[in-house]
Homo-oligomer: A and B are copies of this chain.
Amino acid sequence: MIRRLAIIGVGLIGGSLALALKRTGLVEEVVGAGRGQANLALALANGVIDAQAESPEAAAAGADVVVLAVPVGSMPALMARIAPVMHDDMVLTDVGSTKQDVIAAARNLLGARVGQFVPAHPIAGAEASGVVAAHADLFRGKDVILTPLPENPEIAVARVQALWQGCGAHIETMSPLEHDRVFAAVSHLPHLAAFALMDELASRENSPLYFRHAGSGFRDFTRIAGSQPEMWRDIALANRETVVAELDAYIARLAHIRDLIAAGDGEALMAVLSRASQARQQWAQYKLKNPR
């Protein structure tokens, strides 16, 4: 049971978490804080939060659990403000899409209280953003990755775990390094690749001609390019080394395909496309059997 839950950043993720936990009855009171006053007012009016604090530290003061639900680039400044109001029974957690940098910030800024910070990453989201997009079922059946610290007492990890299980999520534990590597490849890279295609076409003089004829393949490929630029800038910079390595590998793979086409090597091209197509079909089968 959480008496007071503080959500810093009441957007799609923070708002959905509040709604899901209120429905379970696991939470008595949700206090929200954030930068967007209109967004916060809407969250209050819609009952997503019960009270609106004037600052992150005011929201956190007296809370049992504090959730940082902001782009990862904003985490350090928030931790610095919240550290002074942390008390012994408080658990701090986050929803950041990268983990090594957030953990490094926690080590720098929380001092002896770093063991009260349990890093987490719910694998859910959409190109929509803001509390208007929040809903109580966002995390149902989805993965939440925990990357606990050696300093975390078991009870702190268990509290964060219970919170996400209350939302219907499935918990997995990984090391921060493994997390950042895996999500650089399956999430950060595809987002940047989708942004790159939109930027390339939008920069052309005759872009309306292209966009007019873009169909359903283009629609799905670029869907994630509608995501929040700030969030993805932060992720790319936070996971810089790994993201750059993934982009290099992807560019090399594209250049290889380009060279096969330029050389008219149909056989080698067919081998690459067949392997890719088979892998995609196998993955679709796997996801049918393991939906989340």
Contacts and interface: CB of A to CB of B under 8 A. Distances in A.
Q: How many copies does the complex hold?
A: 2
Interface string A213-249: 1110111111111111110110011001001100111
Contact of A219 (B207, B237, B287): B287
A64 to B, nearest CB: 30
Interface of A is mostly: helix
A259 to B, nearest CB: 9
B218 A254 contact: no
A226 B191 contact: no
A168 interface: no
The residue in A142, A178, A226, A249 that gathers the most chain B C-beta atoms within 10 A of its C-beta is: A226
Scoring A215, A224, A228, A278 by chain B CB atoms within 10 A of each residue's CB, the highest score goes to A215
Interface residues of A, number: 89
B261 A225 contact: no
Given A194-B280, A198-B277, 5 more contacts: A190-B197, A221-B221, A227-B277, A228-B277, A251-B251
26 contacts: A123-B215, A182-B210, A186-B210, A186-B213, A187-B214, A187-B215, A192-B257, A193-B193, A193-B221, A193-B254, A195-B273, A196-B250, A197-B250, A198-B277, A198-B279, A202-B279, A212-B286, A214-B283, A220-B223, A225-B276, A226-B284, A237-B266, A240-B262, A247-B257, A251-B258, A254-B254
